[in-house]
Structure 1
Amino acid sequence: MTHSPLTRRDFFRRTGVGVAALAVPALVAGCTAVDNGTTTADPKTGKGGLLDRVKSAGKIKVGFANESPYGFRDKHGNLTGEAPELARAILKNLGDIKLEPVLVDSFGALIPGLNAGQYDIIAAGMFVTPERCGQIAFSNPDYAGANAFMVKKGNPKGITTFETVASSGSKIAVLEGAAEQQYARKAGVETGRVQVFQKADDAIRGLTDGRIDAVALTAVTLRWALKENPDYAAELEVTEGFIPQIDGKEQLGAGGYGFRKGDTDLLAAFNAELKKLQDSDGVLPVVKPFGFGETEVSKAAELTAEQLCAAS
């Protein structure tokens, strides 16, 4: 099976890398090897790189954009979310390294801020794309983008894929500009049975009042919406995640952590610990509270950053 990578932001619009300036200190404290904060290890000894420095300091600065459920501050002001919590598990195994959060003002400002040395890792669920790979290095992916449907309890129409939407004659909701509209069309869903909404909340209300049979979005988005709106839980559920196909190609995108290109020692160590967690089924328990499921985790474990960076 071949893969066709997504480049959406927040799974459906996670594109575009901005160049906005950040109102945070110009350099990360303690990272003085070069102006942008990169600390290259000695090629003979492997010592003196960023990994050694953060181990010695016991802390590392991470950039995030305050977007739930990927990386955000909770009601107590603490950094949490899928990416920071998994990073905590990995960095704990690398030497009990604590996270120091650096909030940026927009998602597009994350890469410029990293390269400027304002933090050492991007922990924001960023999709790995060839364009971004030209600017920074990525860890291997920790999650992949799966789709799902929000339906009435018991899934009375038996909706599991876009093909079952077409065969059952169901009506579905999609968000304007989202990839799900294309998936539905390619699967044979009649145009009149696809209703476009501006906001996820409006689409969900269309489901509860019976105007549509399902809301088609990413599995993570739908699970998080259900968790954050417990009033819906009595009458709605989210189907199992799946990867849509167009012309035999899986529409698969995946997210990882961003590093400066020179920080190869930290990146290699980070990837090694991520692999250990993936092999021991240790990722899902960490990310499940944020709406991530088995499909997202298992598909990511099959991919590498090298594959995603080279995708056409």
Structure 2
Amino acid sequence: MSLKLTGTLTLALLAGLASGSLSAKEWKTIRIGTEGAYAPFNFIDANGQVQGFDIEIGKALCAQLQAQCEFITQDWDGIIPALQAGKYDVILASMFITEERKKQVAFTDPYYKAAMTFVAPKEADVQDISPAALAGKVIGAQAGTTQAEYLTQLYGKSDVRLYPTQEAVNLDLASGRLDLQMGDALPLLMWTRTTDDGKCCQTVGEMVTDPKYVGDGVGMAVRLSDDDLRQQLNQALAAIIADGTYQKINAQYFPINIYTMK
């Protein structure tokens, strides 16, 4: 290529940048994918509307970005493939940021911290949650989650049973069909402390915070090609934390600040 032609292309590129013709996409409408079966983070209310902490955070982010929000529910086990297929633009569904998932999607900064916990019936008096101590026990978890991965990798001598939703796991534990379950710490703390069916049970053992399984916290996920949207979401998240909007939403659902876990 001649120097003259190269210079012409460079001038054209600079002109395009100056005019904004090569600027990032304007996200006037943001389609948000969530599960709708993971209270209090995302769930379907009596009127068939999706509600929860994740949903309120999504609305606040869209307001900050002056974009219109559209929420789309999707079963958990297909939530990343549906993002990649273009069904929605963002996953906002309490997803742990892990190295394995980073191969498939791009994550925003964490919007709350993550930990996993075991839950058992109160009368079980579980003291030891090591793989050896729980050998032969029936343990439940939601399929496709980091908890499921943790159990299948480390608790091979237990009867690990996987369910399509967290609600189904809770139901079988409360009904006596499981000896224990493992799940995200915050929803299970809320379930055991604030719901009638959760009064049967209590968290047991130390919380699991190994980054290999819980990653760097909980983040929103976008397609690898949509880094501009990821950056805009990060900026909006920082803004709603700084102006107090995040804490107002947090206080509606949790007794502690889940961004700091204090």
- Correspondence for 1:286: 249
Amino acid at match of 1:218: D
Identity rate, percent: 22
| Aligned partner (choices 81, 84, 87) of residue 52 of structure 2 | 81
Amino acid at match of 1:226: T
Does the 8 A contact of 1:149 with 1:238 survive in 2? yes
Pair 1:62–1:162, CA change in 2 (3 A): same
User: Are 1:65 and 2:27 matched, yes or no?
Assistant: no
Does the 8 A contact of 2:107 with 2:222 survive in 1? yes
Which residues in structure 2 correspond to 1:296-311 (within 5 Å)? 297-298=259-260
- Correspondence for 1:28: none
User: Are 1:261 and 2:224 matched, yes or no?
Assistant: yes
Q: SS in structure 2 opposite 1:261?
A: coil
- Correspondence for 2:24: 49
Alpha-carbon distance between aligned partners in 2 of 1:292 and 1:241, rounded to the nearest angstrom: 20
Q: SS in structure 1 opposite 2:47?
A: coil
Q: How many positions carry a matched residue from both structures? A: 229
**TM-aligned CA deviation for residue 75 of structure 1:** 1.8
Pair 1:289–1:183, CA change in 2 (3 A): farther
Does the 8 A contact of 1:139 with 1:270 survive in 2? yes
Q: SS in structure 2 opposite 1:242?
A: strand
- Correspondence for 1:302: none
Provide the aligned C-alpha RMSD in A.
4.6
Q: Which has the larger radius of gyration?
A: 2
Which residues in structure 2 correspond to 1:154-173 (within 5 Å)? 162=129
Q: SS in structure 2 opposite 1:114?
A: helix
Does the 8 A contact of 1:49 with 1:263 survive in 2? no
Pair 1:75–1:292, CA change in 2 (3 A): farther
| Aligned partner (choices 273, 291, 303) of residue 236 of structure 2 | 273
**TM-aligned CA deviation for residue 113 of structure 1:** 3.4
- Structure 1 gap ranges (5+): 1-41, 186-190, 300-312
Q: SS in structure 2 opposite 1:297?
A: coil
Amino acid at match of 1:298: T
Structure 1 length-normalised TM: 0.53
Alpha-carbon distance between aligned partners in 2 of 1:158 and 1:240, rounded to the nearest angstrom: 8
Pair 1:280–1:219, CA change in 2 (3 A): farther
Deviation per CA, 1:105-136: give whole Å up to 9, x if none.
x3344334334433222222233344443343
Amino acid at match of 2:140: L
**TM-aligned CA deviation for residue 271 of structure 1:** 0.7
- Correspondence for 1:138: 107
Does the 8 A contact of 2:98 with 2:212 survive in 1? no
Q: SS in structure 1 opposite 2:235?
A: helix
- Structure 2 gap ranges (5+): 1-15, 163-168
